[in-house]
Structure 1
Amino acid sequence: MSERLAIGVDIGGTKVAAGLVDESGRIVQRARRDTPHRSTKPHVVEDVIVDVVEELVGLASSPPVAVGIGAAGFVSSDRATVVFAPHLSWRHEPLRDALTQRVDLPVFVDNDANAACWAEHRFGAAQGESHVVMVTLGTGIGGAVLVDGQIQRGRFGIAGEFGHMQVVPDGHRCECGNRGCWEQYASGNALVREARSLVVAGSPLGADLAALVDGDPLRLTGPMITEAAQAGDPTAAELLAEIGTWLGTGLANLANAFDPGAFVIGGGVSAAGPMLLSPARDSFRRHLSGRGYRPEARIAHATLGNEAGLVGAADLAREGSDA
């Protein structure tokens, strides 16, 4: 009996990560490309996807059974169309049909956070938990809900877009078109924006960060800020704690809506570990309604890291091909 490999492709704001995934959730081969610029025509992104799929098919020890795409955006409930992707040029893009014409395998499209949540439920931090809320912190904030062991996509496929909850009326403008979205305060973009503002202002608090980039704020990145914090830079640590505080506040609101047994925090920003999650847990407890009189959901760091999206996309596609 063959090992029933599936291909997972995770399309983020900056990179396209793909892998051949076996039935235990193990990635046996990997491929990676840069994500085309958001102004690029949709077919260029499709070209990149086809390129990595063909590379992985060539590396497979047995023919893959399906391809799963985890897309950073709103995906229709039939898992065929990317309705809206804030960080890409897709608007009502029939991605599944476009790829099916070019890839000789069943194709399933899902929101990248749905895919990551499924992976953590099946193979990672949420194994054994029936009610899970996943929050992915990257360029923006993605989210997913699992109830009774099933991903909840909503009537129109857009459930779990927590990053675009309004938390500050008339706050920072968001790429989705609204103001004050949660991801403007608790994401990688928010972390970088605040750090750059200190450098631009010439604040002594940002002197060490400025020195890292020779005074050029545009060179500051999220991983750079996290590394500075872990190396002892108090300003970088303070910036991460602020992001964590906003994260915990939002999680307390989500607890009221979904009452999960666990929150799983993933995405690139979560690499900060306790420097992010400790203030998040403190803020969560401060803002949780009925605190002291209700069970408290655990807040866990995703164990599959940045690979959760592609692992989950592959496993969901394998499951879909069995239906």
Structure 2
Amino acid sequence: MQQPRPVFRPPLRFPGRAPIGGSLALGIDIGGTKVAAGVVDGLGNIREELRRETPGRDPRAVEAVIVELVRELGTRHELRSVGIGAAGWMDLDGGTVVFSPHLAWRNEPLRQNLEGLLNRPVTLANDADAAAWAEWRFGAGRGQDRLVCLTLGTGIGGALVVDGRVERGSFGMAGEFGHQIIMPGGHRCECGNRGCWEQYASGNALGREARELARAKSPMATELLAAVDGIAEDITGSVVTELALAGEATSRELVEEVGDWLGLGIANLAAALDPALFVVGGGLSAAGDLLLAPARRAYAKNLTGRGFRQEAVIVGAQLGPAAGLIGAADLSRVRQSDRLGVRRRRKRLR
């Protein structure tokens, strides 16, 4: 007999309303470069946030940073639950990071380890699932029945929300949109394949293209190099984004190229999933319409059935880079509410 597919469900179908009124939950977002922790109330507001650099790829070192953050924030806030968002594929029980290319983790029992260290229940979710949940509950996706959320950072995370559920697929690995192959034989990806979408439409891709210009000593890279004291290897996607927002011509051109790739991939997703809304978040989304305007044009140009079908709307995320930790916190609150409900029902049956 096939087991039912695990999904995240709110106890009530009211976007923007909290399952537990005034309770505080702690959300942790584990990224390739930073670990962010935030105390989140029932309306998705961050009461306090702390950040630490990700201490390499050693799981024990990352766990130690998480414990430090939880304990520090726990001294100032009464925390009801803890939620963790991490990049990679989770098992269906939501306890193990099966594979995380950017952290180089394989079969890491993260939830079990942290519950032992913290002596409290922990909810573990894919970081893009957590961000999508937050945008559906509190942000750009409120009131939508079907949306795709994309997080553009080190790579491309993704999630599909359908009727108030984060769809995880049959094996818990739905939403890895960044690893659709969009350029066969293209750039090598950390997942092992070549030509993955995230090699062309992510913050890392933007930084790589800018560094190539700088290494080639192109006059187009003069301002880029000036921003990093002439050290080409210090050019990152964030540096390029900041320069683009300041009006620097080469940086704007590079962001536009990434936007073109973004729109092409979104057109592919629209053909498969047909959502009404695409929400684009993550660090690279700070570029705003410098990124989204070319993405919308490329989407419209490459959309299957264009001219004969309704087109989805592509918008920027409302919650910004904090969406992952807000969603992780809220998911932990939902899980805690579910646990309390089960306990009460068991007591009534005794």
Q: Does 1:223 align with 2:250?
A: no
Structure 1, 107-116 or 95-104: larger mean CA deviation: 95-104
2:301 matched to which residue of 1? 286
Asked if residue 33 in structure 1 is aligned to residue 52 in structure 2, the reply is: yes
What 5-or-longer segments of structure 2 have no aligned partner?
1-19, 339-350
Name the CA shift for 1:126/1:201 in 2 (closer, same or farther; >3 Å). same
Match of 1:57 in 2: 74
Q: Do residues 168 (structure 1) and 187 (structure 2) align?
A: no
Identify the match of residue 224 of structure 2 among 209, 228, 245. Answer: 209
2:99 touches 2:106 (CA, 8 Å); kept in 1?
Answer: yes
Counterpart AA for 2:64: D
Among 10, 16, 21, the residue aligned to 2:40:
21
Q: Is the 8 A contact 1:77 1:154 kept in 2?
A: no
Structure 2 counterparts to residues 257-272 of structure 1, below 5 A: 257-272=272-287
Q: Distance in 1 between matches of 2:34 and 2:226?
A: 27
How is 1:117-128 mapped onto 2 (pairs within 5 angstroms)? 117-128=132-143
- Which residue, out of 75, 79, 96, partners 2:94? 79
2:85–2:130 CA contact under 8 A, matched in 1? yes
SS at 2:75's partner residue? helix
Distance across 2 between alignment mates of 1:100 and 1:122: 26
Q: Please name the residue that 1:134 is paired with.
A: 149
Rg larger in 1 or in 2?
A: 2
Give 1:162 deviation, angstroms. 0.6
Do residues 48 (structure 1) and 65 (structure 2) align?
Answer: yes
Measure how far apart 1:75 and its partner are.
1.1
Cross-structure match for 1:145:
160
| Distance in 2 separating the partners of 1:90 and 1:30 | 26
1:232 matched residue in structure 2? 247
Counterpart-to-counterpart distance in 2, 1:269 and 1:89: 22
Distance 2:85 2:245 in 1: 30
Q: Aligned with 2:94: secondary structure? A: coil
Provide the rounded CA distance (Å) in 2 between the counterparts of 1:211 and 1:51.
37
C-alpha distance in 2 between matches for 1:284 and 1:2: 40
- Displacement of 1:30 in angstroms is 1.3
CA-CA distance at 1:215 after TM superposition? 2.3
Secondary structure of 2:267's partner? helix
Taking structure 1 as the reference length, the TM-score comes to 0.96
Task: Specify every segment of 5 or more residues in structure 1 that has no aligned partner in the other structure, as ranges.
Answer: none
Q: Distance in 1 between matches of 2:64 and 2:73?
A: 14
Give, in angstroms, the shift of residue 203 of structure 1. Answer: 1.0
Which range moved further: 211-220 or 286-295? 211-220
1:196 aligns with 2:211: yes
Q: Partner amino acid for 1:185?
A: Y
Decide whether aligned partners of structure 1 residues 2 and 165 sit closer, same or farther in structure 2, where only a CA change above 3 A counts: closer
- Aligned-partner SS, 1:66: strand
Distance (Å, rounded) in 2 between the aligned partners of 1:2 and 1:273: 33
Residue deviations 1:289-315, cap 9 Å, x none?
111211111101000001000000000
SS in 2 for 1:101: helix
Retained in 2: the 8 A contact 1:29–1:59?
no
With the length of structure 2 as denominator, give the TM-score of the two structures.
Answer: 0.89
Residues 37 and 325, structure 2, Cα contact 8 Å, conserved in 1? yes
Matched with 1:6 is 25
Deviates further, 240-249 or 83-92: 83-92
Greater mean deviation of Cα atoms: 200-209 or 257-266: 200-209
